[in-house]
Amino acid sequence: MKRILIINPNSSEEMTRDIQDFATLYAENEAEVVTAKIEDAPKFIETYQDEAQAAPGMTRLIQKNQKHYDGFLVACHSDPNLDLMKEISHKPVVGIGESSMHSACLLGDRFTVISATTGSIPNKEALARKYNLGKQLTSVRPLDSVTGAVDKLDLCERVSRDAIDEDGAEVIVLGCADLVGTSFELQGRIGLPVVDGIASGLSTLLGFINQALFISKVRRYGGHV
């Protein structure tokens, strides 16, 4: 059985548990999955300072666990320190941001990312541009822009409908690991494909492991080889 370490780059115990529960169910017969949080990181990653604060803990986690796992998943949708992780890891590393956005491009022409906060919009846009997927990203819609609804699913439904009506969204990407487990019901409500980062990332990572693929160690992620 394959072994996957999911790195939750923040220190939230609740989010770590939610990711673990969903990932265990999702990967069930294919992989043993362990989710670890970063103790000295903030409870939520939004800024580049948050990201920098998570870097040492994430680095230690990869270095300590190189031999014990077949692959690593970075489970925060802003893909914090993903390039660094790819540089230091000898096993495949996937970010849920990159995986979910690339996948969305195969399911429709334009996608909208639902983000947790208004503050994370520019970073999401910059991330899509970094991956050269800026043209397919039609909008980022933050949940904290909606007033009234309190239920997570209702919130997602409201911003998704706005994305469809106003931005021409064809695919919805759940842009926060905190939304894990809501994609199936949201799909049923809005009729568009909804990409969950954790499911997408796990699926991509398992595929890479099955194909014996690894992060290229020439040029960009070569480090001091």
Binding site for a copy of itself (CB under 8 A): 26, 92, 94, 98-99, 102-103, 105-110, 131-133, 135-136, 164, 168, 170-171, 183-184, 187, 191-193, 195-196, 199-200, 203-204, 206-208, 210-221
Nearer to a copy of itself, 26 or 44 (CB): 26
The pair phi, psi for residue 125, each rounded to 5°, is -65, -40
Q: Count of CB atoms within 10 A of residue 59's CB?
A: 17
Q: How far is the CB of 124 from a copy of itself (least distance, A)?
A: 17
Q: Could you tell me the sign of the dihedral formed by the alpha carbons of 48, 16, 153, 174, in that order? A: positive
Nearer to a copy of itself, 3 or 110 (CB): 110
Nearer to a copy of itself, 23 or 41 (CB): 23
Residue 26 carries which DSSP code? Answer: H
Q: How far is the CB of 150 from a copy of itself (least distance, A)?
A: 26
Q: How far is the CB of 9 from a copy of itself (least distance, A)?
A: 18
Nearer to a copy of itself, 3 or 102 (CB): 102
**Token duo for residue 157:** 């439904």
The pair phi, psi for residue 80, each rounded to 5°, is -65, 135
Question: What is the distance between the alpha carbons of residues 152 and 202, in angstroms, rounded to a whole number?
Answer: 23
